[in-house]
Amino acid sequence: MKILIEADPRTQLMIVLLTSVAVFIADFSVIPWIILVVALYLFAQGIYKQTAQYLLAALALYLLQIWVSISSLEIMTIFRFLTFLGLRFIPVLMSALALARVPSGKLIASLRKIGLPMGLLVTLAVSFRFMPVMKLEYEAIQISARLRGVSVVSPKNWLRPLSTFEYTIVPLMMRSLKISDELAASATTKGIDHPGRKTSIYQISLGWRDAVLTIAYIGLLVAVLVKGGGGAL
């Protein structure tokens, strides 16, 4: 996969924040356009498959939204609430995709340049990396839970929410404790507690690509917002 524009993690973070602000002030009718802008940004960075998946998901939500709004059933208002929320989150989640692909060493080295305290940085880097890991762990736990008949998925267990919660959360927390121990050991051997100046294998610098990317992104967002009638603009 060829990366057309390799952006600095700081730029990518900036773009996540810009997107979230844009989604916040935008009219609902503008959201599809914002999704398109984010998709362009992702394509420029060579992320094709996941972008396509998100675009399909957005399309599905949009169709559901239309179907819900023409249907007259009372219960549909709840779905409408969920599709509203879903469509608002998709652009921001998409813009975070690029950031999620940055190796954590590079992420930390780059964010350290902003001057965030190391403790907060480590916490953040770990927490955002942990989501996919937790999904895998959860799936593994559910496999054995299903064998024992205590899975969250089977409706008969919903009648005993407390025990079902216990059977799910306790193994998950056990694993999390273990993973955090392993991560801490691994980070310590790599010298995370070294008090002096840290170096990184990654070259971190803001180049003209970052400037072009940010300006183009802001330009596109503003164009979309002005044309579509953003609420606050």
Partner 1 sequence: MKKGLRTKDYILIGIFSILIYVVNAIVGFALTPVMATSAMPLISGVCLFFSATVYLVMAMKVGKRGVLLLMAIVTGLIYTIMGVPLMLAFFAVAGLIGEAVLLAGDGSQYRRISRQALAYAAYGALFGLGAYVTVYVYGSDYLEAMYAADMRERMLYFAYSPFWIAGSMVFSFVLTLLGSLLAAKLLRKHFLKSGLLQ
> Which of 1, 208, 198 shows the shortest CA–CA distance to 110?
198
Please compute, for residue 139, the number of CA atoms within 13 A of its CA located in the half-sphere on the CB side: 5
Residue 100 structure tokens: 């999620």
Residue from 18, 44, 187, 216 in contact with partner 1 (CB under 8 A): 187
| Residues between 103 and 132 with contacts to partner 1, criterion CB under 8 A | 119-120, 122-128, 130-131
Q: Is 115 left (phi over 0), alpha (psi -120 to 50) or beta?
A: left
Shortest Cβ 2–partner 1 spacing (Å): 28
Footprint (CB under 8 A) of partner 1, residues 23-62:
23-28
Please, which residue, 114 or 134, has the CB nearer to partner 1? Answer: 134
Greatest C-alpha distance within the chain: 65
Alpha carbon 81 to its chain centroid, in Å, reads 21
Q: Is 126 or 216 the residue whose CB approaches partner 1 more closely?
A: 126
DSSP state of 193: T
Instruction: Give me the residues that bind partner 1 (CB under 8 A), please.
Output: 16-17, 20-21, 23-28, 77-78, 80-82, 84-85, 88-89, 92, 96, 119-120, 122-128, 130-131, 134, 162, 165-166, 169-170, 172-174, 176-177, 179-181, 183-184, 187-188, 192-193, 231-232
